[in-house]
Amino acid sequence: MKLSFQLILSIFIGLNQLPRNMPDKKYLKAIIVDDELHAITNLNKLLGIYCPAIEVIDTAMGAEAAALVINDKRPDVVYLDIAMPRKNGFELLKMIEYVPLIVFVTAHEKYALNAIKASAVDFLLKPVDVNELIQVEEKLLKIQAMRKANDNENYSAVVNHLVNMLHNPGAIKKITLPDTNGYNIVDLEDVMYLEGDDNYTSFYMARSHKVVVSKTLKEYESLLADLGFFRIHKSSIINFTHLKNINKENGIDVIMSDGRSLAVSRRRSTELLERAKQFIA
C-alpha cells in the first residue's frame, strides 16, 4: 500500500507545528493490528509524533497473531484494522481473553461504521487525520481513568454489544451513551427526543430518565436519521415513535409522549408534516 499524498502532507505540516506538551511518562500501552506493514508503520509514526501519552509496545499482522500478542501483553489499547483476510477485526474481539480499549482504524462500509458510532467505541477513518488521532488520545485517557474508578465490565459490555450488532446485521436497535459514570446501553425505542446545548446532548428517555452526553447534536443526527428520528430544530431531534400530536397554532409545535411541546423550525416544518403522516392517524 502506497503512502497517500494526504497522509504525507499531514505529517509534513504537523512537523512544522508547535509541539504539544509532553507528559513525564507514557500512560497507555498500545498494540497496533493491521494486515499491511505500511499501515502499521505509518500509524506507529503518527502516534510517536502526535500522541505522547501512547506507548506502542508491539504490533501484529492479522487476527491470529494479534490474539496471541494481546492475550500475552494485555495492552491498555488496541488500534485495530477491520478489513483483514481470514478473520477481520470484529472476529478478533471474540478471540481475546480480556477487553482492552479498542480504536477501530477503518475505511469500512456504512453499516459497520454506523454500528461503531452507535456503540460509542472509538474509530479513525483511513487515511488517518492527525487532529482526529489527537482527539482519540484525549478520549482514551479519560476512558482509562474512568475504567480505573469503575467496574471494567461496563466497557466489556459495550464491546460485546458491538460484536453482536455486527454478527446480526439489521436496523440498529440500541445505542451506547457514555457519561461520567460509565456507559449506558439504551433501546432506541425508549428515546423520546434529544436536545443539544453547545457540545452536550441530552437524551430524554421514557419514564422521565435523562442521559447527558458530551457530544454535539449533529453527531447523532446522521446516525439516527434512518432509524425513525428527525431533526425538527437546530437544538432538537425527535423520535417519531413518541410523537403524539402536531400543533399548528402560531407556528408548528410537536407534542411528545411525555406531554412536552417542542418548537419546529419553519424550514423543517414541511418535511416534518410529510413524514409524520405515517405515525399520526
What CATH number is given to the structural domain containing 216? 2.40.50.1020
The domain of 212 spans 189-276
In a domain, 229, yes or no: yes
162 with 193, same domain: the answer is no
In a domain, 178, yes or no: no
213 with 125, same domain: the answer is no
78 with 144, same domain: the answer is yes
In a domain, 11, yes or no: yes
Confidence of residue 161 (pLDDT cuts 50, 70, 90): confident
Q: Which residues are within 8 A (CB) of 12 and not within 5 positions of it... i.e. 6 or more apart?
A: none
pLDDT at position 19 over 70: no
The pLDDT value recorded for residue 44 is 96
In a domain, 62, yes or no: yes
The pLDDT value recorded for residue 76 is 93
Q: Which residues are within 8 A (CB) of 193 and not within 5 positions of it... i.e. 6 or more apart?
A: 204, 236, 237, 238, 239, 242, 256, 260, 262
In a domain, 143, yes or no: yes
Residue 13: CATH number of its domain:
3.40.50.2300
Confidence of residue 8 (pLDDT cuts 50, 70, 90): very low
Q: pTM, whole model, 2 decimals?
A: 0.67
The pLDDT value recorded for residue 149 is 61
20 with 121, same domain: the answer is yes
Q: Output the CA–CA distances (angstroms, integers) from residue 124 to 181, 220, 248, 266, in the order listed.
A: 25, 17, 44, 36
In a domain, 177, yes or no: no
pLDDT at position 237 over 70: yes
What is the three-state SS of the chain? CCCCHHHHHHHHHHHCCCCCCCCCCCCEEEEEECCCHHHHHHHHHHHHHHCCCEEEEEEECCHHHHHHHHHHHCCCEEEEECCCCCCCHHHHHCCCCCCCEEEEEECCCHHHHHHHHHHCCEEEECCCCHHHHHHHHHHHHHHHHHHHHCCCHHHHHHHHHHHHHHHCCCCCCEEEEEECCEEEEEEHHHEEEEEEECCEEEEEECCCEEEEECCCHHHHHHHHCCCCEEEEECCEEEEHHHEEEEECCCCCEEEECCCCEEECCHHHHHHHHHHHCCCCC
The pLDDT value recorded for residue 257 is 93
How does pLDDT run across 78-104, given as a tens digit for each residue?
Answer: 999 988 888 988 889 889 888 888 898
227 with 117, same domain: the answer is no
What grid cell was written down for 202?
Answer: 441530552
In a domain, 18, yes or no: yes
250 with 161, same domain: the answer is no
Distance of alpha carbon 84 from alpha carbon 86, whole angstroms: 7
The pLDDT value recorded for residue 151 is 53
The pLDDT value recorded for residue 58 is 97
141 with 13, same domain: the answer is yes
What grid cell was written down for 105?
Answer: 482504524
137 with 271, same domain: the answer is no
Number of domains the chain is built from: 2
Asked if 4 and 127 touch (Cβ cutoff 8 Å), the reply is: yes
In a domain, 130, yes or no: yes
Distance of alpha carbon 23 from alpha carbon 25, whole angstroms: 5
Confidence of residue 170 (pLDDT cuts 50, 70, 90): low
65 with 132, same domain: the answer is yes
31 with 157, same domain: the answer is yes
pLDDT at position 168 over 50: yes
